Structure 1
Amino acid sequence: MAQDGSHHHVEHITTRPPTPLPHQRPGTPAFDLAAWATAPRPEAEPGVYRLGYRRIDPERAEAARVPTWPLLLRAVLNAVVGWLAFVYGVEFAKDGTTLIGVLPSQSAFVATSVVLTLNALVLGVVIKVFGRMGRWLEVWRRYAAPLLSRTVTQEEPVEETGPAAEAARRLDPWDGLRRGGAVEAAVRLEAEVVGDVDYVRIRRAWESAQADPVFVPAFTEQVAARGAAAFAHPSEARELPGRARRHDLLLGQVCLGVAQDVPKNPLSHRAADFALDPAVLGTSLLAVGPAGTGKTARLARPVAEALCLQALAGTACAVVVGAADADLGPDAWYDVVIAPGDPASVYGLDLFGAARDPDEAAARLADALLPDELTARAENARTALQQVVGPFHAAFGRYPGMRELRALLGGEPDALAALVKALGVAGRLAVYERDLEHRERQRDRADDPGTLLADRLGLLERPAFEGAFATDGTGRPPFAMRVLDHPLRVRVKLPERSHPEAARMLSRLVVGQFVQAAGAREDRSLFAGLVVDDASAALDANTVRGLQRMRGANAGAVLLLRTLVDLPEALRAPLFGAVGCRMAFPGIAPWDGRLFSEAWGTHLVQETAVTHTPDTSGGVVRRVGRIGRKALSGTTAQTESVTTRDVERLRWSPSDLAHALPAGHAVVSLTAVSGEQVPPLLVDLRG
């Protein structure tokens, strides 16, 4: 038996039949791998779905807002004035040169050259000045260029060499394999149906093989033998059933909606598709909104789908936590489904996370067991749990089971005597004797934290949880969170309806173990993603501090809350500071909106003030006219003064967030792991 207590822990993936690719389903168009793999993905700010994105020129965007007839009228007027300026400008230049005797003194060729040069200079100045004022380029782009393109009915024949060959090479998704010496593999893949998951997975394997030329023959052999199924995920799955969202697995992006074309949004994001990827999820995302606003369907499920696809492609691992009835994807999406309280569940949960350090494992479990109102006793609870977990692990080489742990915390004499005897046999009694004596002294005290912990563990020692937390190999295989360096897809179904308090403890335990394990990974090549459908019970001070450390560990979390009031007040501000991405859904309470508004700060806006004052200018005639106008119309003549100034205003006020957000929308701010920030965006999540 392993000394780190890892015996029987889940570190494998159940094999299931391969899932058909999306283009193999009847009635769906074929997937064009070449077009998808070679499509342009221009650089863009975080949050922009880069596949098919076109960067907006601010000047063109401003010009596009001008209506048709004013634009054409201004262009024609500037053309007429420009022509007159050209004619008279040329004449003036010629008269000037004649006056100073330049043209008469030269030959006919030189004189003609001087005249042409003058014409070109005057024409250039006219086009520069009047073309800019008349927006001739915008007229060309909007009307002339499309009309001209429609008149072209034939295309030039494409040559077989030169630029055409280079273009064909760029459209070959397997060109890198051919150039790198894996021609046989490229030929095999070219003859098969390859999906985007297959392409990213094989490309990742090829990049690893290129690190050492010795591995290239092994790569070629694998692809030649298995084709598009080469280097498949251990589950042999190559696609997710029921996949719905738009994904770009080359960049790890999932498209969630469209950033609205409104002044509050930055120009670079207006009308652009909105997406999330590991670069922004690595700073973690907090989403707040009441039930029914679409947090699960439009955020949690798409992100879970993206992480599961990336796991199949070998670039991520996913842990998705939520109620058993939460719509976070079918069980077929996941390799490990943990459902405490469901007798049909195949896997259990390791309460200690298979941590190699017993003290660390005990501290994490103690934090999860205590309710929010007893966090003041957390330090004593950690010490009490460490005083029994450490000796038990040293004596038996594994962590204690539920009943064993309750007996030791409750101070049962038989359990303590058995532990002392086992420590003596193992030769470790001298090391842990003081811990056991301290537990013995604490047993009869009214404030003994061991009794409190034993009572809390009683909520998990129910018949419905039989075998779900076994550590001795007699129950279900327990999943250990320390396997986050494998491309696993894990779903934790919490029994919120039947055992709500147990579900709260398990939620806090799983999230705490994830944060702990993600930061302790030695191999961080995979992005470790966590999705928590209801994080109100999952957060404590240690977890919030761990969220910040995950930024440098290639890991991140998506945390959903109905309201910030569900959290202890001491955690709300630290949580906002710990996450880099914040998302507000319609209908949030004003006191929740206040935290968002403060986090997003202010910006400068131009404020225009119009003042009307009675008109007292002019002489007797104007005064008499104003008196007559007032007598006839009943209105007083006024003067109008307009003042424009820059003032600081909240980007989004609490009132706007609480009452002005349309249904199906959200306001989201992003921060990338690199530090690049995107101000709050109004996003339509329904598309």
Structure 2
Amino acid sequence: MDTDGTFDSRGTHRTPPPFPAPPAGPPPAGGPSSYLHQAPALQPSAPPPASLPPGPPPMPPSPASVPSGARPSLIAWLRTPRPEAAPGVWTYGHKPKPPEDPDRIPARRLFTGALIALLCTWLLWSLLTADRGYLGSYWLLPLRLAKSEGWLTINEQIVSFYKALWFLIIAAIFSRVGHWTEVWRRYVAPLFRRAWDDPGSSPVPTDPQADPAQWPELRASGAHSAADRLAEEARAGRMNDVDHARIQRAWQTVRAGRGSLAAFTDTVLRQGAAAHTHPSGARDLPARTAEHDLVARQVRIGTAVDDLRNPYQHRGVGLALDPDVLGTSLLAVGPAGTGKTGRLVRPVVEALCLQALAGQVAVVVVGAAGSGLGGDEAFDVVVKVGRPDSVYDLDLYGGTSDPDEAAGVLAEALIGDMTASLPGGDSRRAATALAQLLGPYRAAHGRFPSVPELRELLDGSKVAVSALREALDAAGQSAQARELDARVRQAGSPGDVGALLADRIALLDRPVFADFFDTRGDRRPFSLRALEHPLRVRIDLPERGHVEASRMLARLVLAQFTECAVGRADRSLFACLVLDDASHTVTPEALRGIQRLRSANAGVVLTLRTLDDVPETLRSALLGAVGCRMAYAGVTTWDGARFAEVWGTEWVEARDVTDRQIIAEEPFTKVLHFIRKVVTGKAVTTQSVTVRKVERERWSASELAHAVPAGHAVLSVTSVRGESGPPVLVDLRA
């Protein structure tokens, strides 16, 4: 639904990220696991389909395709320190800054003073050492007197030593004036350290229990043979970062008591780095475009600008997203072409897919067909709504067998964006009307109706209603027959929503969707009940010519996700829904569902071109429901005002400078002031500085609308633990 990044210049991507290359080797024996398609929640009304065909394992890139030193080895990558940092900070190799020094000399003034001091040193030394000049060689007078009196024999070594002594005295004086030591400490010394240090090397711990490449957790539990095998796989280059994260996940399952230590050890000894492979058989993605760190589960999205508007500790550091902050949900707002898809959605989706291969995440991505969210080979399930080549179908009822639950989710999808105009201001009456039809139909036929069948019932077709009543009588479902009679009595009455529901469901009863949403179809129905498994799902919506239907399906997926993610029995997997364009999908019920996701180890990522795509009464509530907020360059002043309000104010030091002209009384002073005014063009003044504490907006609406450069965004994050970060100006291209 978004074309962000379509017009980006070529060659503007980052250099290859610091993760080890995938290993070569044969595919794991046995193919993918069968749980991907055998879960009852995946196909509630159809027999389990066959498993996905196993894909070939990723091959390592050739040496010519990877720049030297761009990707460190797995062992060096594991040994790189990742210190504790604020939420959203890229921790791979992060070095916390020292406390801010209020008396710190600005770089421009520091270099200017050092250069002037250097020129003064050179000038004075030249005057002293010149044979003919202002000072001549009189500074060597002590040596000349000693020679004339015969006290010592003058030679070149003594003269050189004497000259060096004078040079050191002069240099010491001017180095203190020009702050040469500060220049060395801040700029020169780091260059020498980077030149001498090998970027791909890291200090080797002498204690195996302190070396992450030696699997100390396994050794501490007595699994030395498994630790030795995995360490050998890493040294031989047969293990990549996904393998490490996946085996770590399997080990955590053993530690939590949900697995056997003996079975874990046996699997590792037999399969090595390929142990506990994802059901698809893949051990890496076909290609990576972003910078990932699977130890910290982070993906880097940019660098905080070294700007006074950014907090001191964030200036110049990398910023990243991970499940810890995505668990509070993220909202990104910016006009088309600002990079929401290319520089935010795609890296986040890529990171979640990698973590899904490691058995840590279940991800569902929803976007327009051809929006560039990843190739088909990067996903386990691809639902291409409206396309005949789609292998999977989308379960319209969310995989549930409860008619009331199915009716509530379907009503939210059909008329969730129209609740303000409905009697009562919500969709409860619509859910009741649908339940009065879904319940009897399921009781009579053992399944929910297809889209054409549901449309006929909502239209009040006498033939369809009579056939359903006869089926209920034959099945002895008298209670469900009373539900159907109640729906028939309400049909056509003032305030009835049946006609509106029929009009909305007609958007899905089109020839292009004839083979979809059919409970008896040949396609494999996919439902979000499968979020308990580490799945990678992509749903392509047919935006062209079917905009309203696409928005309806997006609301359906969002409603099903919030319902299924909260209702999971096993919440150990992080579940994430990514909506590439959330226009007209935010409803009051959706907001209530998003607020419940944080406690369910789940989150959503929403992108909008403008907050005007959300009802006015829900805009502030939406910004308050999400923990991560992102405003791109080019947002309107009205959108900026909403962000400025939610980011609040802070206390800052305001400096008021007052210039006062100096009136000279002495004739000589008047002449000097006149000459200075002629040269500089300004009168001689003196400054009076007043410093006071004031409360100001962190980012004003005007700054967000006009002061954010292209390719930048202002980002604030909040972790699921409640730690929040300030809004930071991020360069998404760095």
Fold agreement, TM-score > 0.5 = yes
Q: CA deviation at 1:504?
A: 1.2
1:408 to 457, 461, 465: 457
Q: Which residue of 1 aligns with 2:370?
A: 325
**Aligned residue for 1:367?**
412
Q: Alignment length, in residue pairs? A: 621
Which residue is equivalent to 2:93? 52
Select which of 373, 381, 392 maps to 2:430.
381
Name the structure 1 match of 2:82: 41
Q: Which residue in 2 is equivalent to 1:165?
A: 206
Contact kept? 1:18, 1:238, Cα under 8 Å = no
Q: Does 1:260 align with 2:305?
A: yes
For residue 326 of structure 1, give the secondary structure of its aligned residue in structure 2: coil
Ranges in structure 2 where 5+ consecutive residues have no aligned partner: 1-38, 119-174, 198-203
Equivalent position amino acid for 1:301 in 2:
R
Give the secondary-structure state (helix, strand or coil) at the position aligned to 2:81: coil
Amino acid at match of 1:174: W
Match of 2:164 in 1: none
Give the counterpart letter for 1:376 in structure 2.
S
Q: Report the equivalent of 1:654.
A: 701
Percentage identity across aligned positions?
A: 50
Distance 1:427 1:9 in 2: 27
Partner residue, 2:110: 67
2: CA distance, partners of 1:152 / 1:3: 57
Residue 213 of structure 2 aligns to a residue in which SS?
coil
Give the unaligned 5+ runs of structure 1: 76-130, 154-162
Indicate which of 583, 591, 594 corresponds to 2:638.
591
Q: How many Å separate the matches in 1 of 2:295 and 2:301? A: 17
Residue 279 to residue 296, structure 1, CA distance change in 2 (3 Å): same
Supply the distance in 1 between the matched residues of 2:348 and 2:672 (Cα, whole angstroms). Answer: 71
Q: How does 1:438-517 map to 2 (within 5 A)?
A: 438-445=486-493, 447-472=495-520, 474-517=521-564
Deviations 1:127-171, CA, capped at 9 Å, x for gaps: xxxx99998985774589779989999xxxxxxxxx963269616
TM-fit CA distance, 1:183: 3.6
Aligned AA (2:206): A
Q: What is the CA-CA distance between 1:312 and the residue it aligns to? A: 0.3
Counterparts of 1:140 and 1:278, CA distance in 2: 40
Give per-residue Cα distances to partners, 1:334-364, cap 9 Å, x unaligned: 1111111100000000111012432121111
Q: Which moved more, 1:179-188 or 1:261-270?
A: 179-188
Matches of 1:3 and 1:514, distance apart in 2 = 13
1:176 maps to 2:194: no
d(CA) in 1 for partners of 2:698 and 2:48? 48
Residue of structure 1 equivalent to 2:247: 202
Distance 1:152 1:11, change over 3 A: closer
- Between the aligned partners of 1:443 and 1:53, the Cα distance in structure 2 is 65
In 1, distance between residues paired with 2:411 and 2:195? 76
Indicate the larger mover: 457-466 or 173-182.
173-182
Aligned position for 1:272: 317
Match of 2:57 among 8, 13, 19: 19
Tell me which residue corresponds to 1:357.
402
Does the residue aligned with 1:58 lie in a helix, a strand or coil?
Answer: coil
Residue 180 and residue 133 in structure 1: after superposition, are their counterparts in 2 closer, same or farther (change >3 A)?
A: farther
Q: Which residue of 2 aligns with 1:686?
A: 733
Match of 1:522 among 543, 559, 569: 569
The amino acid across from 1:274 in the alignment is: L
User: Contact (CA 8 Å) 1:395, 1:423: kept in 2 or not?
Assistant: yes
> Does the aligned pair in 2 maintain the 1:286–1:579 contact within 8 Å?
yes
- Check 1:178–1:214 CA distance in 2 against 1; reply closer, same or farther (3 A cut): same
CA distance in 1, matches of 2:258, 2:343: 44
8 Å CA contact 1:285, 1:579 repeated in 2: yes
Residue 16 of structure 1 aligns with an amino acid whose one-letter code is P
| In structure 1, distance between residues paired with 2:570 and 2:40 | 22
Superposed displacement of residue 457, structure 1: 1.4
Does the CA contact (< 8 Å) of 2:42 and 2:527 recur in 1? no
Segment drifting more, 138-147 vs 229-238: 138-147
1:629·1:635 contact (CA, 8 Å) conserved in 2? no
Give the direction of change, closer, same or farther, for the CA distance of 1:525–1:133 in structure 2 (3 Å limit). farther
TM-aligned CA distance change 1:604 to 1:387, over 3 Å: same
Residue 490 of structure 1 aligns with an amino acid whose one-letter code is V
Q: 1:171 to 1:387 in 2, by over 3 A?
A: closer
TM-score of the two chains, using structure 2 as the length reference: 0.77
CA offset at residue 63 of structure 1?
Answer: 6.2
Matching of residues 664-679 of structure 1 within 5 Å: 664-679=711-726
The Cα of 1:415 is off from its aligned counterpart by 2.3
Distance 1:5 1:632, change over 3 A: closer
* TM-score w.r.t. length of structure 1: 0.82
Per-residue CA deviation, residues 232-262 of structure 1 (Å, 9 max, x unaligned), is 1111111111211111111210001111111
In 2 relative to 1, CA 632–301 (structure 1 residues): closer, same or farther, beyond 3 Å? closer
- Equivalent residue runs for 1:81-230 within 5 Å: 141-142=185-186, 165-166=206-207, 170=211, 172-189=213-230, 190-191=232-233, 193-212=238-257, 215-230=260-275
Q: 1:175 to 1:255 in 2, by over 3 A?
A: same
* One-letter code aligned to 2:86: E
CA distance in 2, matches of 1:525, 1:214: 14
Structure 1 residues 552-571: aligned runs within 5 Å: 552-571=599-618
Change (3 A) 1:5 1:177: closer
String of CA shifts for 1:20-70, please: whole Å, max 9, x gaps.
155578633676111112221100001111011000002479468472574
C-alpha separation between the residues in 2 aligned to 1:442 and 1:272? 62
2-structure distance, mates of 1:391, 1:170: 63
8 Å CA contact 2:430, 2:498 repeated in 1: yes
1:80 alignment counterpart: none
Instruction: Give yes or no for contact 1:564–1:592 (8 Å, CA) kept in 2.
Output: yes
Identify the residue that residue 398 of structure 1 maps to in structure 2: 447
Partner of 1:83: none
Contact (CA 8 Å) 2:472, 2:481: kept in 1 or not? no
> Which among 12, 31, 46 is matched to residue 8 of structure 1?
46
Written as runs of structure 1 = structure 2, the 5 A alignment for 1:427-438 is 427-430=476-479, 432-438=480-486
Change (3 A) 1:152 1:449: closer
SS at structure 2 position matched to 1:559: strand
Q: Secondary structure at the match of 2:207?
A: helix
Root mean square deviation of aligned Cα = 3.7
2: CA distance, partners of 1:483 / 1:298: 29
Compared CA separation, residues 313 and 576, structure 1 to 2 (3 A): same
Kept after mapping to 2: 8 A contact 1:284/1:579 = yes
Q: Distance in 2 between matches of 1:225 and 1:627?
A: 90
SS of match in other structure, 1:491? strand
- 1:371 Cα deviation after fit: 6.6
- 1:247-326 matches, within 5 Å, as 247-326=292-371
1:238 to 274, 283, 292: 283
